[in-house]
């Protein structure tokens, strides 16, 4: 029988917030199993993200609750995009204050020593603000976008990358058979990590990411050059947040109006632009939520589990106000303020940018 080790934390709550992604259940299992088996901690599961704390929708988590969930997609706790510090749907400042007060009241009513949050930028930002309100918080970074500051990788990214790469692989055969240009839209509102990596892995001919505004005329010339050199088809991988040189000059409201008038999907806008510029047969594909669904890859199972174990160790030592992070080959932690209100974009000097260019992939602008 394994002896229980001493722990500063006796009881903690755990929630998953924001969009779902592969690896959440693996991370829940990693935190809970280590915390319970090694340290004898009591665990309170919080339903539907921060909404569960506001509504006190909670339940104790026992070993049977998190057994057998390593390979499952989604989250057994449920999720929501509740942002308690943000006025939404006509909320007044008073209403926002009530939500934050309700979270603090539930936290203290449950006699939690710490709150463990699994989420992306918004979730960890809220966690940092709750820490500033006096709560003990530990964060774990998840998102298929890989855009959380402070960590080299987030769990969920590798699983989505695998799905996106397989989709591009499948599009190659149809594009080649029908001599078409196929535009595939991948997730990434503000960053291009997923489109860049999947585009390279899938052998795309053009990759467009938000960090590099594209010139449609330059894209047209590149695609026409390919056609004249005997390459009868092309694959264009584009992040959903990619923007043209013209859009890059617009402010947020102008861009929103432009996209509402011209179709919100970059795949369809870009398909029309390429067809007009080149006259070539061009078709769009929007992969959508397929990228976030299903079970985690083997890599994400390992990463999420390791993050969970690391979070349990922080709990045991009472090291609050931290976010678990992977830097290099080491799993450690950073201050929870590091990811607060920030987005990790693709640096223009990143090795994968150079890899794409070296492989002859056009990135949208000369």
Catalytic residues: 145
Strands 206-208 vs 114-119: parallel, antiparallel or unpaired:
unpaired
What are 329's two structure tokens?
A: 């080959």
Q: What is the spatial distance between Cα 228 and Cα 273, in angstroms, rounded to a whole number? A: 20
Q: Where are the beta strands (DSSP E) in the chain?
A: 11-16, 42-46, 58-60, 114-119, 137-141, 181-186, 206-208, 234-239, 282-286, 322-327, 330-335
Handedness of CA 188, 51, 118, 27 (dihedral sign): negative
Spatial CA neighbour of 54 closest among 97, 91, 88, 89: 97
Token pair 């939500």 is found at 99
Token pair 């330059």 is found at 218
Say how many C-beta atoms besides its own lie within 10 A of residue 178's C-beta: 12
- Cβ neighbours of residue 213 under 8 Å, at least 6 residues apart? 243, 244, 245, 247, 248, 364, 365
Crossing angle, helix 157-178 and helix 298-317, to 10 degrees? 160
């Amino acid at each position: 029988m394994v002896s229980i080790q001493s722990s500063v934390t006796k009881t903690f709550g755990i929630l998953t917030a924001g969009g779902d992604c592969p690896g959440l259940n693996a991370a829940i299992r990693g935190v809970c199993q280590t915390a319970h088996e090694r340290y004898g901690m009591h665990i309170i599961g919080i339903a539907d993200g921060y909404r569960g704390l506001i509504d006190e929708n909670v339940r104790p988590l026992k070993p049977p609750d998190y057994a057998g969930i390593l390979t499952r997609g989604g989250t057994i706790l449920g999720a929501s995009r509740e942002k308690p510090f943000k006025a939404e749907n006509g909320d007044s400042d008073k209403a926002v204050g009530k939500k934050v007060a309700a979270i603090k009241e539930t936290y203290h009513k449950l006699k939690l020593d710490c709150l463990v949050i699994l989420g992306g930028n918004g979730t960890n930002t809220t966690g940092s603000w709750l820490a500033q309100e006096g709560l003990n918080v530990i964060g774990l970074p998840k998102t298929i976008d890989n855009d959380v500051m402070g960590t080299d990788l987030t769990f969920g990214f590798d699983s989505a990358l695998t799905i996106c790469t397989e989709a591009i692989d499948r599009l190659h055969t149809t594009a080649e058979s029908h001599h078409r240009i196929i535009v595939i839209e991948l997730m990434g509102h503000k960053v291009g990590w997923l489109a860049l990596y999947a585009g390279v892995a899938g052998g795309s001919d053009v990759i467009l990411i938000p960090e590099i505004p594209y010139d449609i005329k330059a894209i047209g010339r590149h695609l026409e050059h390919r056609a004249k050199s005997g390459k009868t088809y092309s694959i264009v991988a584009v992040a959903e947040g990619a923007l043209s040189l013209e859009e890059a000059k617009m402010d947020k409201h102008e861009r929103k109006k432009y996209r509402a008038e011209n179709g919100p999907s970059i795949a369809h806008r870009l398909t029309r632009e390429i067809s007009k510029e080149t006259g070539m047969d061009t078709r769009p594909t929007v992969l959508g939520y397929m990228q976030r669904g299903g079970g985690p890859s083997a890599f994400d199972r390992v990463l999420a589990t390791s993050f969970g174990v690391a979070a349990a160790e922080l709990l045991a030592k009472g090291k609050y106000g931290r976010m678990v992070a992977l830097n290099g080959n080491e799993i450690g932690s950073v201050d929870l303020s590091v990811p607060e209100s920030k987005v990790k974009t693709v640096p223009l000097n990143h090795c994968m940018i150079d890899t794409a260019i070296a492989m002859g992939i056009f990135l949208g602008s000369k």
